[in-house]
Structure 1
Amino acid sequence: MKYISLFFTCLFICSCGNAKEASAMTTQTELAGNYNITSVYGNQLDSKDLLIRFSLEKKMISGFSGCNQFSGSYENKGAALNFSPLASTRKMCRPEANKTEQDILKALNETIRFTENNQVITFYDLDNKVVMTLAKPEPSNSQVADKQKDYKVEYTAISRGSYMLINYENNSISFQKERNSKPQVKALSKSQIASLNAKIGALNLNELESLEPPSKAHQYDGAAIAGLKISTGSSNYQTPSFDAGNPPKTIEALVSELIGYIEKP
């Protein structure tokens, strides 16, 4: 009886493990929108013109393979992925472009499944070999600025003898270095806006309120007390108070950049 019980216990554990594996394999990223083709058969591709576009609603694919435009349909269930025979234009190009195109179309034809890891899509063939990798295109500075311009950021650093208030809103910075002074406004370039928005976008805003200050001198020796608040839409996210000049590592780059803009002439 002891061995029978042990057998069924092992069987149960293995069944649970298989169920989890099956569940994990069916949890896949939806293929939608534009992707850059970053490698084919292990060869890295640097051109940003090599694109694949997935239409999730129509299950259609189109793109540019180095010389010609191509299009077709695809089927995708869980991790399984198959492309129909692809149609393409018939322009002739340089030999290296033709070779890249042939490899891309061949790799798509051989693809039977895909995985996603850290926003990199990988296609595999029947022998489980990697035939192609894709990545989401990086947005331009103007796209980042336009997409994330609804952020509002407020940084304060206050002590008995000092005062600093910085607001980032509507793609510009306003600041006060004295309590009763009139706010000064500083316009930002698109690259500066994109840099700030990228740092804000990289934060998990829900975790701001639980950040641990690396030091707490403001609690006992009169050091300047600082705080950061970020608003987007109707939601507000705020850090606990921390020592000015020593923010939590998570927001250090953002705080440093905000202060840097108002200290530059």
Structure 2
Amino acid sequence: MESVDYNFRYESFTRGSRQIIEINSEKTHIESTAKQIDTVIFTPKEDWKNLVTEANKVDLSALKTLKAPSEKRMFDGAATATLLVTKAHKTYSSASFDHGNPPKEIADLINTITALEEAVE
């Protein structure tokens, strides 16, 4: 399984806080102003394998066209979130969506990414 060419970046933000999770096969960088976290850890091999499995299920070329299931971010009801996936030196970006309620097509991938932050807390 070729997995080295993936890079993931999940970002969510509101007026007062920002969360960034950047993951590649070697390291995971987690930054959260709300939780006062800014740390880099080695990416656990099992978590990396799960990320690649979930990413392989997603049509990356359609990522930017996925419709958000809710719009609470439009009136500060939820943080605004985006996902960037780089594969083979090509970057794919999602449209914005509510943190905690991603489009169903990428929900498992997002949950796998955000679980890494929860493991660090």
Cα drift, residue 182 of structure 1: 7.6
Of 31, 47, 55, which residue of structure 2 is paired with 1:176? 31
Aligned-CA RMSD value: 1.8
Give the distance between the partners of 2:44 and 2:99, measured in 1 at CA. Answer: 27
Aligned mates of 1:228, 1:183 — CA distance in 2: 19
Q: Distance in 2 between matches of 1:211 and 1:159?
A: 21
Pairing partner for 1:188 from 43, 49, 62: 43
Question: Within the alignment, does 1:249 sit opposite 2:104 as a pair?
Answer: yes
| Residue correspondence of structure 1 range 140-179 to structure 2 within 5 A | 144=1, 147-178=2-33
Aligned to 1:148, the other structure's residue is in SS state coil
* Aligned ranges 1:1-265 → 2 under 5 Å: 144=1, 147-178=2-33, 183-265=38-120
| 2:73 counterpart SS class | helix
Alignment partner of 1:264: what SS? helix
How far is the alpha carbon of 1:257 from its aligned partner? Answer: 1.3
Within 1, Cα distance between the matches of 2:109 and 2:53?
9
Distance 1:247 1:195 in 2: 18
Matched positions, count: 119
Cα separation, 1, equivalents of 2:116 and 2:42: 10
Tell me how far 1:236 sits from its aligned partner: 1.1
TM-score normalized with structure 1 length: 0.42
Unaligned residue ranges in structure 1 (runs of 5+): 1-143
> Which residue identity is paired with 1:248?
P
Over 3 Å counting, the alpha-carbon distance change for 1:182 and 1:263 in structure 2 is closer
1:81-118 per-position Cα deviation (integer Å, ceiling 9, x unaligned):
xxxxxxxxxxxxxxxxxxxxxxxxxxxxxxxxxxxxxx
Alpha-carbon distance, 1:166 to partner: 0.3
Q: Which has the higher contact order (CA 8 A, sep 6+)?
A: 2
Q: Give structure 2 stretches of 5+ with no counterpart.
A: none
Q: Could you say what secondary structure the match of 1:203 adopts? A: coil
Identical aligned residues as a percent? 28
> 2:57 is aligned with what amino acid?
A
Contact 2:19–2:30 (Cα < 8 Å) also in 1: yes
Distance 1:248 1:185 in 2: 28
Give the letter for the 2:84 counterpart.
K
1:174 partner letter: H
One-letter code of the match for 2:118? Answer: E
User: In terms of Rg, which structure is larger?
Assistant: 1
Structure 1 contact 160–222 (Cα < 8 Å) conserved: no
